[in-house]
Amino acid sequence: MILVDNLFNLRKAAPAAFFGTLLFVAGCQGPENALYFEGEAQATTFHITVYGDARVEATDIQRWLADYNHVASPWDSTSLISALNGPDVVAPDHPYLCEMLKIGRELYRMTDGALDPTLGPVIEAWGFGVGPATLNPQDTAGLHEVMKSVGDTTWWFQLAHDCTGHSSMKMYL
């Protein structure tokens, strides 16, 4: 055989054969350990596939999503983010809310203010929040009036700075 006659070729062929066999065997493994979950959250649908030995139940995912929606859903008038965008003062004591505030502050900085966390009144007026639209998109005078309450990020960033929550959900930019 030609590989046996040439020691250099044998040294090159052995690792290639090993990794080729490893890939073949790994590729033959079916997704028998895969768990599939789907549902609705944040006004959309989700599909989750968990591979490996993870011990995840559908109730775990639903519980996490319900907790996250309680914090972050702009479509839930009782959520913490809705309260934060409302007239009441909210203490950011929830880890997810603290994480969102800090991420928002960083995105504001990275985009030179293009992502403005104070746009809540405009979003609500155009009907993308909890209630129906109260402002016609062509109403520039009305938009200018709503914009008077937008842009002062001082208090918002102070909340982000004061957060002490220890989030299990980490996002890195």
pLDDT tens for 86-111 read 776 666 678 888 888 888 888 989 99
Pairing of strands 35-41, 44-50: antiparallel
Mean pLDDT over residues 65-79, rounded? Answer: 85
Stronger pLDDT, 81 or 7, i.e. the higher one: 81
Stronger pLDDT, 6 or 107, i.e. the higher one: 107
Least confident of 42-51, 132-141, 156-165: 156-165
Mean pLDDT over residues 28-44, rounded? Answer: 75
Contact by Cβ (8 Å): 98, 165: yes
Mean pLDDT over residues 5-31, rounded? Answer: 54
Half-sphere exposure of 25 (CA within 13 A, CB side): 6
Q: 164 vs 92, 101, 152, 156, CA distance in Å?
A: 8, 11, 23, 15
Contact by Cβ (8 Å): 101, 115: no
Provide the percentage of residues in the chain whose pLDDT is more than 70: 72
Q: First-to-last CA distance in the chain? A: 55
With b for 16 or more beta-carbon neighbours within 10 A and e for fewer, the 10-26 pattern comes to eeeeeeeeeeeeeeeee
Provide the percentage of residues in the chain whose pLDDT is more than 90: 10
Confidence at residue 167, expressed as pLDDT on a 0 to 100 scale? 43
Tell me how far apart the alpha carbons of residues 142 and 161 are, in angstroms, rounded to a whole number.
Answer: 33
- pTM for the whole structure: 0.58
Tell me how far apart the alpha carbons of residues 135 and 42 are, in angstroms, rounded to a whole number.
Answer: 24
Indicate if the pLDDT at residue 145 is higher than 90. Answer: yes
